[in-house]
Amino acid sequence: MAAAIRAEVAERVRAFGDRPPGLAVILAGHDPASEVYVRGKIRACEELGIHSEQLLPPAEVSTAELLALVEALNASDQIDGILVQLPLPPQVDAGAVLLAVSPEKDVDGFHPVNLGRLVTQRPGPVPCTPAGIIQLLKRNDIAIAGKEAVVVGRSDIVGKPLALLLLHEHATVTIAHSRTRNLEQVCQRAELLFAAVGKAAMLNERHIHPGAVVVDVGVNRLTRAEDVERYFPGNAKRREEFERRGSTLIGDVDPRAACALASAFTPVPGGVGPLTIAMLMANTVAAAERRRRGQWTVDSKEGPG
């Protein structure tokens, strides 16, 4: 699915000729996970012909310095999309920096203006992971309308916007979280179950209704050999990865339960992650198309993003 979206995006990039769409990524400090994510995004830009700029302020950067950097990118004719990689260093006011990004260049879809457009079903950039999940369901012919959907997690980045997108697709949506009473019973109602809580294998056979579609957004690390064998029994590939790296990734769903009960299940890694980057590329190209036309709204022909 991610490859198909990227191929469609590449075709749209070719229509720009000598002045391709431009994406700027701000990576402040030296968070190892963030560095990996940013490398993936820059590599995707190179593969699709999107102009990319990587800005690397030091870990001691101030809020004022980042705000000045964002303002310069807002004014740049070469940049159509701005991405501020989170987390930012602790002394930085992350909210102020994200708010400073022009809504037209907010390819993450995090700006309050764009979240407001999402709530009211007006066109605009949509947070990449939720947008990718909707594409995943549609391109696999998994019906959304009329289905009982449960989103476990209420973050501004995934849980809330995903719930809104599902609602716009006519699902009946429940948002569950750490204080939800009887979480197992709530999840058992789900025909479409989405896990985005950030806790390894939190959802298990008690949460999954037989035949449910399970989308696992979580990315967690297992650092104990006994846990690797527990969740991936007899899996030589996982065992080798653990021995080589000292850890292996797992989502928020126990993969044993999902494989036994779900009708469809996204793996971790290799499930939602590639779609997130594909949708970032789509959002960047859509932003460039809007700027080229001199308009803010997105027409229905633009496709993802």
Q: Quick one: average pLDDT of 268-279?
A: 94
Which residues face 152 on adjacent strands?
Answer: 176, 195
| String of DSSP letters for the chain | -HHHHHHHHHHHHHTTTTS--EEEEE--S--HHHHHHHHHHHHHHHHHT-EEEEE---TT--HHHHHHHHHHHHH-TT-SEEEEPSSPPTTS-HHHHHHHS-GGGBTT--SHHHHHHHHTT--S---HHHHHHHHHHHHTT---TT-EEEEE---TTTHHHHHHHHHHTT-EEEEE-TT-TTHHHHHHT-SEEEE-S--TT-B-TTTPPTT-EEEE---EEE--HHHHHHHSTT-HHHHHHHHHHS-EEE-SB-HHHHHHH-SEE--TTTSHHHHHHHHHHHHHHHHHHHHHHT-SS--GGG---
Tokens of 169: 């697709």
Catalytic residue ranges: 41, 85, 108
Going along the chain from its start, the domains and CATH numbers come out as 2-106 (3.40.50.10860), 128-272 (3.40.50.720)
Q: What is the chain's mean pLDDT, rounded?
A: 94
Q: Which amino acid is at 84?
A: V
pLDDT-derived band at 198 (thresholds 50, 70, 90) equals very high
pLDDT tens across 200-258, in order?
A: 999 999 999 999 999 999 999 999 999 999 999 999 999 999 999 999 999 999 999 99
Predicted TM-score of the model (pTM): 0.92
pLDDT by residue (tens digit) across 57-73?
Answer: 999 999 999 999 999 99
pLDDT (tens digit per residue) in 23-48: 999 999 988 878 888 999 999 999 99
